[in-house]
């Protein structure tokens, strides 16, 4: 994330608790503060009062929630972007008032699934569209199931139904793609014609 932001002219400051990583990041030219980001004094020294966003990408979920609580208290102007390792962690972050939560494995899983579809002979356009459709419906389902998460039986029942519904949507789109093939995205089909 930091490299992408810097490559677009955005100034970044990294807060890191691992001293080995601090040295590496500093050697790469990044502005890095060593310590626990849940400390108000460290965030202050790093310039949180002038920052616009705080991006949290910690593996320690409990510590992340502590940072969020402290940030909301002392720096309520900061927009928080947080990476979550699981559905439960994502729900916890939403409950903590974080509006920009990213499920850690979702993007990788969808990208790998799309590549697997193409390897299995599906057209690139279909793989892209199926991935986009899956993401949209999965995010919608995830948000709708949020309020049911403490009622395990109802949650599982609703989740199973949503999985079934999504499979039907994707199978329907696959049938439509077979009826109206679009080879415009597939360079391999173009090279076979020459």
Residues 93 and 137 in one domain: no
Domain that holds residue 113: 106-179
Q: Is 68 part of any domain?
A: yes
Higher per-residue pLDDT: 51 or 184? 51
Residues 97 and 6 in one domain: yes
Q: What is the pLDDT averaged over residues 86-101? A: 93
Give the domain-ending residue among 73, 89, 104.
104
Lowest mean pLDDT among 4-13, 53-62, 94-103, 132-141: 4-13
Give the domain-ending residue among 55, 77, 104.
104
Q: Give the phi and the psi of residue 127 in degrees, each rounded to 5.
A: -60, -45
Residue 193 pLDDT grade (very low, low, confident, very high; cuts 50, 70, 90):
very low
Q: Which residues contact 11 (CB under 8 A, 6 or more apart)?
A: 31
Quote the pLDDT of residue 191. Answer: 44
- Looking at every residue in the chain, the average pLDDT score rounds to 87
Lowest mean pLDDT among 9-23, 83-97, 110-124, 169-183: 169-183
Give the side-chain half-sphere CA count within 13 A for 64. Answer: 23
Which string of DSSP letters, residue by residue, matches 8-19?
TT---EEEES-H
Quote the pLDDT of residue 194. Answer: 41
Q: Is 168 part of any domain?
A: yes
Quote the pLDDT of residue 17. Answer: 86
Number of domains observed in the structure of the chain: 2
């Amino acid at each position: 994330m930091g490299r992408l932001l810097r490559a677009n002219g955005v100034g970044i400051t990294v807060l890191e608790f691992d001293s080995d990583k601090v040295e590496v990041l500093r050697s790469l030219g990044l502005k890095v503060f060593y310590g626990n980001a849940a400390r108000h004094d460290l965030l202050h020294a790093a310039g949180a009062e002038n920052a616009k966003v705080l991006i949290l990408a910690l593996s320690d979920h409990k510590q992340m929630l502590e940072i969020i609580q402290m940030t909301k208290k002392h720096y309520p102007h900061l927009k928080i972007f947080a990476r979550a390792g699981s559905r439960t962690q994502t729900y916890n972050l939403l409950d903590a008032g974080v509006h920009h939560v990213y499920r850690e494995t979702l993007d990788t899983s969808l990208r790998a699934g799309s590549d697997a579809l193409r390897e299995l002979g599906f057209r690139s356009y279909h793989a892209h569209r199926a991935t986009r459709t899956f993401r949209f419906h999965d995010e919608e389902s995830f948000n709708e199931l949020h309020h049911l998460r403490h009622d395990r039986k109802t949650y599982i029942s609703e989740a199973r139904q949503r999985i079934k519904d999504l499979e039907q949507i994707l199978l329907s789109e696959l049938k439509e793609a077979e009826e109206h093939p679009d080879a415009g995205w597939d360079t391999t089909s173009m090279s076979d014609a020459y």
